[in-house]
């Protein structure tokens, strides 16, 4: 699992920072999460292949998470895309994109499939045999979801040495990988546990931006390997945090601690602060394993 | 008159080029012309004061001329703007911006005044005592206007030496600057032509992007000091030019020649070409005084 941070700063333009967007590489997918203005240029800068993105998840319809989407959709057309594209986001996202395409008379030549969200309860919005995605309902000024990306338990891994010792035919490999025992020609039963290793532990990534402090999400994200949680403000601006329904570094850390996650990644920093290191310092007074997102940074876990 | 090129490349994202946007400084105004994605960052990079922009002109509603506008409008709010903002653009621009603000529940705290355009004839869309702006109806795939910015003839300049020689009271200066003669106490009439110099010749800037070759605009832009005319393609791609309703470098030069403009500035280059110098070379086979727009370039005239 690999996380590319394309942008992780709160709104207001600066020459060197970008609004929220990230790409999660997971089980062969490239999931684009949020799409602030300039995301298409950030994709280029970070050398991410446009054609490998088939699913875009939008947390909410504030500009710094969403205003890069119309341009990206147009660019996919210019690049000759013909594969369908799935877009998951709040109710209204279809109307907005459709109106902009209509005004430009710039219809896509690929299928654009909108999955509009409006529930305040967790929903399973994507699933295949390797991965699932659920919404994490958040508490922001407008309807907002985080997203929980979960790998599924993979196949068991063949212990080739043992399998070859028993001269098992390759046609049985798939059965073994799916957990079955083997009966040899002489009637001897070889237990699956002897023939295989456990599959790697499936990983989980929780993306939570933007939201006020919301302990209600803890049970859902419990034990996640990685939690990206916004921390727009430091303690000194706690009053602004409450007013604008954002979180402080310490509040993000409190969520990470209660949810016993592996790593907390902070982001969505207000541009008022001179150094983002301050966010790490404050968060680490509560939770140890803190990383700072920054534009262009890549996390592997 | 000063022209800041913020972006001048056709769509499709590259890491180092920006879609169309420019700022014209004229008689104390900063007019923003077109607003492709990333314009707000380009404004910052080019150190242009956001608060001095009060009028935005949008030629047409293709993304590479318009998708930076929603973010810019949001940013004006974040920066605490309270002055009204005038936006001139095709019918539908108000609906698009209003929908995006509504979805984000992000209303401006300043007055946003839309001047929607739909006429296929030239219209006077802005005028004060120093400058006027007319539309230049163009021929593109969707409804598109260029804009003609005209300075008005200013006041006559006092010839201070002569004025002081005749001991003219300062209370008469304004009358003299507006062209009146003076009668001295002894009854002697001093002609205005002796007391003043001619005002500087008013300048004219014609912005034409995007459009197919359209000689019909020549009478309107005749004698302009500066013509910015798109030239998306070189001669070798003339077939694409016709198909997409864009112009070649030579077509832009033919317009400049017929209109007898002072300087032709080329821009809106397709990103397929390795060097934009080729545009200048081809244009100069027809018209001498050719300049190449480039992101971050400033022209003074």
- The pLDDT confidence band at residue B13, using thresholds 50, 70 and 90, is low
Which architecture does CATH list for B2-154+200-300? 4-Layer Sandwich (3.60)
Residues found in chain B: 301
To the nearest whole Å, the CA of A21 is away from the closest chain B CA by 15
Interface test with B, best of A13, A66, A210 (most B CBs within 10 A): A13
* Residue A189 neighbours by CB under 8 Å, 6+ apart: A181, A182, A183
What was the pLDDT predicted at B11? 75
Find out whether A61 and A114 touch, Cβ atoms under 8 Å: no
Tens digit of each residue's pLDDT (9 = 90 or more) over B135-146: 999 999 999 999
Q: Tell me how far apart the alpha carbons of residues A236 and B155 are, in angstroms, rounded to a whole number.
A: 55
- The pLDDT confidence band at residue B102, using thresholds 50, 70 and 90, is very high
Residues A63, B71: C-beta atoms closer than 8 Å:
yes
Find out whether A212 and A139 touch, Cβ atoms under 8 Å: yes
A97 touches chain B (CB under 8 A): no
Angle between helical axes of B93-103 and B69-78 (0-180°, round to 10): 50
A43 touches chain B (CB under 8 A): yes
B46 touches chain A (CB under 8 A): no
Tens digit of each residue's pLDDT (9 = 90 or more) over B219-253: 999 999 999 999 999 999 999 998 999 999 999 99
- The pLDDT confidence band at residue B81, using thresholds 50, 70 and 90, is very high
The yes-or-no verdict on residue B30 having pLDDT over 90 is: yes
- Of B40, B43, B104, which is closest to A61 when you measure between CB atoms? B104
Tens digit of each residue's pLDDT (9 = 90 or more) over B273-297: 989 999 999 999 999 999 999 999 9
Whether B181 is a known active-site residue: answer no
To the nearest whole Å, the CA of B105 is away from the closest chain A CA by 7
What was the pLDDT predicted at A192? 95
Q: Tell me how far apart the alpha carbons of residues A274 and A253 are, in angstroms, rounded to a whole number.
A: 21
Find the catalytic residue in B34, B64, B210, B295.
B64
Residues B37, A75: C-beta atoms closer than 8 Å:
no
* Cβ neighbour number for residue A196 with a 10 Å cutoff: 20
CA atoms within 13 A on the CB side of B68: 28
Find out whether A213 and A247 touch, Cβ atoms under 8 Å: yes
Residues A106, B62: C-beta atoms closer than 8 Å:
yes
Residue ranges covered by each domain of chain A: 2-154+200-300, 157-197
Q: Percent of chain B having pLDDT more than 90?
A: 92
A106 touches chain B (CB under 8 A): yes
- Of A64, A99, A104, which is closest to B63 when you measure between CB atoms? A104
What was the pLDDT predicted at A81? 96
B13 touches chain A (CB under 8 A): yes
Residues A105, B142: C-beta atoms closer than 8 Å:
yes
What was the pLDDT predicted at A141? 95
Encoded tokens for B151: 């300075």
Q: Which chain B residues are Cβ-neighbours of A92 within 8 angstroms?
A: 103
To the nearest whole Å, the CA of A108 is away from the closest chain B CA by 13
Query: What angle (nearest 5°) sits at the alpha carbon of residue B6, between those of residues B242 and B233?
Result: 20
Peptide linkage before A210 cis (omega within 30 of 0) = yes
Peptide linkage before A67 cis (omega within 30 of 0) = no
Find the catalytic residue in A34, A64, A210, A295.
A64
Number of H helices, E strands in chain B: 10, 18
Among B266, B242, B272, B240, which residue's Cα sits nearest to residue B253?
B266
Q: Which chain B residues are Cβ-neighbours of A40 within 8 angstroms?
A: 13, 37
The yes-or-no verdict on residue B265 having pLDDT over 90 is: yes
Mean pLDDT of chain B: 95
With a cut of 0.95, is the ipTM above it? no
What was the pLDDT predicted at B16? 76
What would the mean pLDDT of B44-61 be, rounded to a whole number? 97
Nearest CA in chain B to A107: B62
Residues of chain A with pLDDT under 50: none
Nearest CA in chain A to B76: A12
Encoded tokens for A176: 């073994």
């Amino acid at each position: 699992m690999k996380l590319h941070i394309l942008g992780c700063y709160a709104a207001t333009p600066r020459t060197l920072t970008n609004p929220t967007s990230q790409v999660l590489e997971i089980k062969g997918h490239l999931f684009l999460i949020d799409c602030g203005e300039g995301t298409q240029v950030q994709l280029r800068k970070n050398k991410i292949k446009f054609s490998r993105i088939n699913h875009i998840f939008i947390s909410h319809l504030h500009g710094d998470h969403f205003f890069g989407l119309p341009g990206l959709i147009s660019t996919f057309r210019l690049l000759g895309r013909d594969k369908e594209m799935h877009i998951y986001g709040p109710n209204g996202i279809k109307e907005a994109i459709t109106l902009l395409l209509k005004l430009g008379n710039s219809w896509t030549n690929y299928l654009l499939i909108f999955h509009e969200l409006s529930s305040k309860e967790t929903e399973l919005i994507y699933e295949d045999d390797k991965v699932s995605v659920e919404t994490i309902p958040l508490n922001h000024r407008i309807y907002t979801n985080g997203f929980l990306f979960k790998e599924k338990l993979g196949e068991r891994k063949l212990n080739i040495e043992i399998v070859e010792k028993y001269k098992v035919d390759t046609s049985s490999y798939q059965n073994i990988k799916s957990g079955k025992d083997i009966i040899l020609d002489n009637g001897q039963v070889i237990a699956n546990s002897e023939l295989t290793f456990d599959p790697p532990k499936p990983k989980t990534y929780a993306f939570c931006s933007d939201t006020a402090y919301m302990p209600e999400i803890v049970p859902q994200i419990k034990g996640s390997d990685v939690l990206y949680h916004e921390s727009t403000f430091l303690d000194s601006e706690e009053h602004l945090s409450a007013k604008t329904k954002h979180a402080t570094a310490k509040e993000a850390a409190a969520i990470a601690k209660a949810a016993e996650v592996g790593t907390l990644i902070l982001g969505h920093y207000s541009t008022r602060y001179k150094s983002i290191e301050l966010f790490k310092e404050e968060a680490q007074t509560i939770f140890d394993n803190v990383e700072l997102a920054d534009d262009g940074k890549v996390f592997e876990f």
